[in-house]
Chains A and B, each alone.
Chain A
Amino acid sequence: MKLRRRKEPKRLMPIRDLKDPGSGVFTRRALLLMAAQTAALGVLGRRLYDLQIRDGDHFAKLADNNRISKRLLAPPRGLIVDRYGVAIAANKTNWRALLLPEETTDVQGTIDRFSTLVPLDERDRARVAREMRHKRKFVPVMLRDFLSWDDMARIELNSPGLPGVLIDVGTTRFYPYGSLLAHTVGYVAPPNEQDVAKSALLALPGMRMGRAGVEQSQDDLLRGESGSVQMEVNAVGRVMAELDRVEGTPGDQISLSLDVGLQRAVLGRIGDQVASAVVMDCRNGEVVAMVSNPSFDPSLFDSGVSRTQWAEWTSNERTPLINKAVAGVYPPGSTFKPAVAMAALSSGAISATDRFFCPGHFDMGGARFHCWAKYGHGSLDLHQALKFSCDVYFYEVAHRIGMEKIAESAHAFGLGTELGIELPHQREGLIPTPEWRRRHGHHWNGGDTVVSGIGQGFVQVTPLQLATYTSRIATGRAVEPHLVRAVNGSVGAKAEPTNWPALDMDPKFLDALRGGMFAVVNEPHGTAPKARLDIPGVQMAGKTGSAQVRRVSRALRESGHFNSASLPWEYRPHALFICFAPFDAPRYAVSVVIEHGNAGADAAAPLARDIMTDALTRDPVNHRIPPGQTVADAE
């Protein structure tokens, strides 16, 4: 073989072998194939040039879009403080134990060992198992939050036996006053899918959304602006490196007009009655206290309310979740009478000195409407009619002027209208009119006007509307109730009384109403002598109301055994009282509604008096004043 190798000249192509007839064809065709192969790979090389060089910049940009992920950073939620700077909604650091499933080989074993140090209940375990099924292995799962120092010390000490467990700090919303301010301040909860679809910021872990009260209405201010961090991620979204970071702006601090101390005093005075009370600065409409009892613990919503707790709340006839001050509607009863009187005076149908005779009942079209005083009040003018709260006088007046005039006046006082307060879910109440009745397919009877004259029938108002109404009577200004006093320390224009326009009512008529209300409390035989203030030189004007929730049958009334206090609780009349003080320089207006509290004079009036006394004697110096503000500023 070696010999032959030497003989054979070195050349690329063999000489055409005549003995092998296919070889020539083969060589030609093989060369053709080689050319085709070279050309094909050449075309690919050309395509590679197009992709890498010609369109390289375009693809490089796409590659960066792939790998750089911009993530938003959750900003801290703004604080909510009361008028003296006392924090009523704050952020609490929350130490929590997280489990990184990919760093432990035995997830269940780690969880079991962890639970010997910090107990986990069935609900925690179920939640952990659920989250682990839905999350990727490198996304931490929360085992327990709100760890104490002791818990953390135990975890740290045993960390070698707890692979994948790490301690992390987050924030949760914290309400130091709990149920005291739950209805007004509201609460936060994790956003749902529709919210997240509206704002990418809400998709961030730890973001909460206001779900009720000021937390909800001021959510945009409280939320703040997100920061961002640019990260390099891989195809499954795992963070490989942080490239850039911009911190977010915290949410605004909201100062409410509420006074936590007064709020607490009002709630303490209400005790366990199902009631609502509103204390308003009648000069500018600031709500200083707003109580709705019973209440609930708002912090439960942050982590999720249990089903049993929710069922208990929603089935409770005392409706703890509803803010009765703005969403509870009640017939105003006799507290409605000043509005009717104003309608009558403004329309010119009567004057304050016109007298009517009350025989104890009012007959119209074969129907008889009773006065609360069985044997009547005799002859009385407006002043006396308000003082004694005579029903027949107002039946007569209402019948004369008609429902439209009454509704007009009531609306001007804020009754049956939507008020501008910064609270969601408020109800409008209702001042019925013939037109409204027709819209719902019924006739308006003369009797409907008559019963509306004493705030019964279809008339429905909220305690906040009553307080607004009282403030407007007291000051003659169209003040609107509001809760937000300042944002980030700058007090809004609403705080200045002179910014509120005067009501389109004759001051003489307003004086007549105030005089009647003064008589209710301070003159002999007024309906609310128990509401008299025990402060020297300060007097209060008010109006009682007892609103029937059930029609009293004639048989029962005539039997003489009618005593509403002996009725079952849910059939007893609501007790109402509205008042303002000091009479000569009105400062506060108070409205109190006690559900099924029976007589306004006995149940509501003393309560309102105590609240008013507290409000008037409360010394702002006793409150913590935020730095940089004087007592006068805080006031």
Chain B
Amino acid sequence: MVLPVKPTSGLANRSGAAARGVLAGLDPRKSGGKFRKRLLRAEPSFRILSKLWSVSWLYVLLICVLAGVGYVSLYSAGGGSARPFAGPQAMRFGFGLVLMITVAMMPPRFLVRIAVPLYIVAIGLLVAVLRMGHVGKGAERWIMLGGMQVQPSEYAKVALVLMLATWFHRISYARMGNPLWLIPPAFMVLLPVGLVLKEPNLGTGVIIGGVGAAMFFAAGMRLWQIALLILPTPVLLKIAYAHLHDYQKARITTFMHPESDPLGAGYNIIQSKIALGSGGMWGQGYMRGTQGQLNFLPEKQTDFIFTMIAEEWGYVGGIAVIGLLLLLILGGMIMAIRSRNRFGRLLALGISVNFFLYCLVNLSMVMGAIPVGGVPLPLISYGGSAMLDVMLGFGLLMSVWVHRNSRFGEERDEQE
């Protein structure tokens, strides 16, 4: 029996695609024939193995190296002990690694299908955290889910990237010229940004907005559209500042003059700069950083983990960590470029930009270049939600890489 070979276009032929096996991931036009069908049925185990083979293990190794840096640093932050930080974090990373490989096996067709439900769940969680979230440092950010602390804003970023990639994939490059097609995705970005800012979590809000902007840009937004958006920005910023919470404004003012309040809001920035500065070229030695070990450095296991690394390992260690992070980011971008389908390209780019912004905000924060905001350093900082979110993101990235040659969704482009 030969299945009817029709050009599939996204959602319209979703059921047909499902009938052929979600995991197949093969070019549907080439499927057909008894032999082939038998082969298909026998294929999954073989396919999984071959997909596992095509995972970029070099990239996985790089991730493991950074997680290792995190483990070593958390061991020091725990005062030379796996408890309370390093041990649990290593377990989370192990779990995250499994999650990543699992997600990497998912074909784009499946990811497209779950994008909308995931996005809706993410928005639901963001609303829930506003209504019944647990307050941490003057902001509602946490929610208890099945006995676990979950930070929905972390997860919302991944859901948004998936959602935007799906949308831009559907509307194709040609339709990008019509601004009407850009209005729904704009709302898709603004909704979580608004909810996160209301929590209020300035750092994550900025990152979500940045990821959205980068994806609009990469998806092929016309230059005149960009110009039209950028010109009124100063006015919008002024309005936004008026709506910031007092403590967020305080962060901005103390950032401008950290010495004005050395024991209050400016304390973190000053202590972080002192710790970095006392590290020098080669550092004070592992587990011998005085600022970190004597607790002058606040939140050294989360937001300020990089400061502690740079204090103990010096400029050399700091630059090495930044270099490793840059390798991960650029690697992700290259994976995006090498994908042969629009969905994969945009998904990989979104994930990479997200990771980059994460690093950028955290590093700028600890170096006193931007106001402090609760943004951890991905892969290295202590924290469950952030770790799983990052590993989920790498899973999606790896899925794009594994399925880079899939001609998924290009039929409609041909139609148009």
Question: Which of A's residues lie within 8 Å of B, judged by CB?
Answer: 1-2, 4-5, 8, 12-14, 17, 19-23, 25-27, 29-31, 33-34, 37-38, 40-41, 44-45, 47-49, 51-53, 55-56, 58-60, 62-63, 66-67, 232-236, 240
Contact = CB atoms under 8 A, between A and B. Distances in A.
B333 A37 contact: yes
Interface string B318-336: 1100100110011001101
B314 interface: yes
A38 B413 CA distance: 33
Return the 3 tightest CB-CB contacts between A and B, nearest first.
A59-B277, A22-B173, A63-B278
Contact of B342 (A8, A13, A22, A29): A22
Contact of A21 (B173, B322, B363): B173
A48 B275 CA distance: 12
B145 to A, nearest CB: 32
B394 interface: no
Contact of A17 (B291, B329, B340, B369): B340
Interface in B267-326: 271, 273-281, 290-291, 293-296, 310, 314-315, 318-319, 322, 325-326
B359 to A, nearest CB: 7
B360 interface: yes
Interface in B336-368: 336-338, 340, 342, 345-346, 349, 353, 356, 359-360, 363-364, 367-368
B217 A51 contact: no
A20 B342 contact: yes
6 contacts: A20-B173, A33-B349, A51-B368, A63-B277, A67-B291, A235-B294
A234 B294 contact: yes
B291 A63 contact: yes
Interface in B348-399: 349, 353, 356, 359-360, 363-364, 367-369
Given A12-B338, A20-B340, A31-B337, 13 more contacts: A12-B334, A13-B337, A21-B173, A21-B413, A27-B337, A30-B349, A38-B326, A41-B329, A44-B364, A55-B277, A59-B276, A66-B271, A232-B294
Contacts of A41: 322, 325-326, 329, 359-360, 363
A2 B295 contact: no
Given A8-B405, A30-B333, A66 B296 contact: yes
B246 interface: no
Interface in B120-149: none
Identify which of B217, B276, B318 gathers the most chain A CB atoms within 10 Å of its CB: B276
A232 B414 CA distance: 72
Contacts of B325: 41
B84 interface: no
B294 A67 contact: yes
B173 A48 contact: no
Contacts of A47: 367, 369
A23 B276 CA distance: 43
Contacts of B336: 26, 30
A52 B368 CA distance: 13
B410 interface: yes
Contact of A40 (B50, B174, B281, B360): B360
A16 to B, nearest CB: 11
A72 to B, nearest CB: 21
B220 interface: yes
Nearest to A236: B295
Contacts of A37: 326, 329-330, 333, 353, 356, 360
B175 to A, nearest CB: 10
Nearest to B334: A12
Contacts of B176: 22
A19 B274 contact: no
Nearest to B279: A52
Contact of A51 (B273, B290, B294): B273
B414 A19 contact: yes
Interface string B247-281: 00000000000000000000000010111111111
B405 A52 contact: no
A2 to B, nearest CB: 7
B273 A48 contact: no
A34 to B, nearest CB: 5
Contact of B322 (A4, A33, A48, A51): A48
Contacts of A20: 173, 340, 342, 410, 413
Identify which of A21, A44, A55 gathers the most chain B CB atoms within 10 Å of its CB: A44
Nearest to B404: A14
Contacts of A60: 277-278, 280
B367 A51 contact: yes
Identify which of B271, B356, B368 gathers the most chain A CB atoms within 10 Å of its CB: B356
B214 interface: yes
Given A12-B334, A30-B218, A44 B360 contact: yes
Given A33-B349, A41-B360, A59 B278 contact: yes
Contact of B275 (A19, A63, A233): A63
A52 B274 contact: no
A20 B341 CA distance: 8
A45 B276 contact: no
B173 to A, nearest CB: 3
B340 A44 contact: no
Contacts of B271: 66
A78 B367 CA distance: 53
A232 B296 CA distance: 12
Given A14-B337, A52-B276, A234 B295 contact: yes
B279 A56 contact: yes
